[in-house]
Amino acid sequence: MFRYFSLAFKNSLRNRRRSILTISSIAVSLCLLGVLIAMYHALFFSQETPGQALRLVVRHKVSLAQPLPVAYEDKVRRLPGVREISVWNWFGGTYKDNRDTKNFFARMGVEPKPFLRIRTQMEMPEDQRRAFITDRTGCVVSRDLAEKLNFHLGDRITLQGDIYPVNLDLKVVGIFYDPDALDTLFFNYDYLRDALPLGRRNFISVLAVLADSPDDVPRIAQAVDAMTRESSYPTKTESEQQFALSFVSFIGNIKLFLLSICAAVTFTILLVSGNTMAMSVRERIKEVGVLKTLGFNNDTILGIIIGEAITIALIGGIIGLLLASFLTIGVGKAAAAFMPQLNGLSITPITIVIALGVAILIGIVSSFVPAWNAARTNILDSLRYTG
């Protein structure tokens, strides 16, 4: 069958305008499909980094909006397998103009000394680490955030509170790099706590936990949740990666959302390709009769026509993946602040295999019925066919 590949390729481009339009439609659709598949893979199948494999997050079982008692910190610290623990408090607030999306970034209150031990992958000069520990109003910002907002050491940053009724005047004392903390600012939790009304000082958002080994992680999670199950503040302890995905769940069922769009895109490509192949086959019924006269059997004719559709779909798929490889870079950078898993988003080999597999499937499904009908048409009917 492969000896007829050149014939199938030439036939696929005989009506160039229609073929180019079809290839363009498939390319655009598979570009979108490739980006969605890459996002799905990055969100739900990405591997944990070495640091994430040891870190857990303890939050309220109901939702992130519900606080936890600060007393939980000492209780969790005493559990076997816990190497370090730190308060990890979302501040929210507004930096300059909140209508500018560039000014949105994560702002977290932490306990500097234990926090720096927990963030095993954080790269920051030693003098800046000491400044963060000793300067009560000091904050550290990620390198990408510093570049985006032009932050430098010694700059003052004012955050206007919304969740908390306080404003924070912070000083940049460190700039760090951490692959698991992009577009993020960390400040001293004690500075926030002392500014709060007395009634709100005994509650925190979440606890960050560092385990001694990956084997201790599931045991610690079970122990923490069992310890608080009957209390007024039950917890849900999960890996740092799962915790990051919980932010994504605010949008809704993101997994169903992505899969639904992928299905809709695939169905649309199928309609476009099916219409193209039906038109192409109808125009060449007489040629089918000639091929049969020359000795081509039904299976060979069926294979040639399906090969044309697969050729068109693969050309569109390859072009679409090339476009998607550039588009994913921009999508990853734009979404990293909200979904850290999408940082460095790219078209992986598994994405290429899936996208090209979809292209081949579309080529086969869209052409099979018209190809089957054409192949089974007898010679006399084919030669008499007038369209």
Q: What is the pLDDT of residues 145-174, one digit of tens each?
A: 999 899 999 999 999 988 888 999 999 999
Domain with 285, as residue range(s), is 2-47+252-384
pTM of the model: 0.68
Rounded average pLDDT over 262-273: 81
CA distances from 83 to 114, 134, 227, 323, 344 (A): 10, 22, 18, 46, 30
Residues 285 and 210 in one domain: no
269 compared with 386, residue with greater pLDDT: 269
- pLDDT, mean of residues 299-305: 79
∠ at Cα 128 (123, 133), nearest 5°? 105
Question: Whose CA is closest to 329, among 26, 35, 46?
Answer: 35
Query: Which of the four pLDDT bands, split at 50, 70 and 90, describes residue 366?
Result: confident
More confident residue, 256 or 189: 189
- pLDDT for the residue 41: 76
Considering the domain boundaries, does residue 16 fall inside one? yes
With a pLDDT cut of 90, the percent of the chain lying above it is 30
The answer as to whether 55 is a domain residue is no
Domain annotation covers residue 93: yes
215 located within any domain: yes
Which region among 57-61, 171-175, 313-317, 365-369 has the lowest average model confidence (pLDDT)? 365-369
pLDDT at 36: 84
Count of structural domains, the chain: 2
Q: Are residues 39 and 80 located together in one domain of the fold?
A: no
Distance CA 291, CA 322 (A): 37
Q: What is the dihedral of CA 45, 46, 50, 55, to 10 degrees?
A: -60
Is residue 114 domain-shared with residue 211, that is, in the same domain? yes
Residue with tokens 């052409």: 367
Beta strands in 153-229 (DSSP E): 156-160, 167-176, 184-188, 203-204, 206-211
Q: Angle CA(69)–CA(71)–CA(74) in degrees, nearest 5?
A: 140
Side chain identity at 331, as an amino acid letter? V
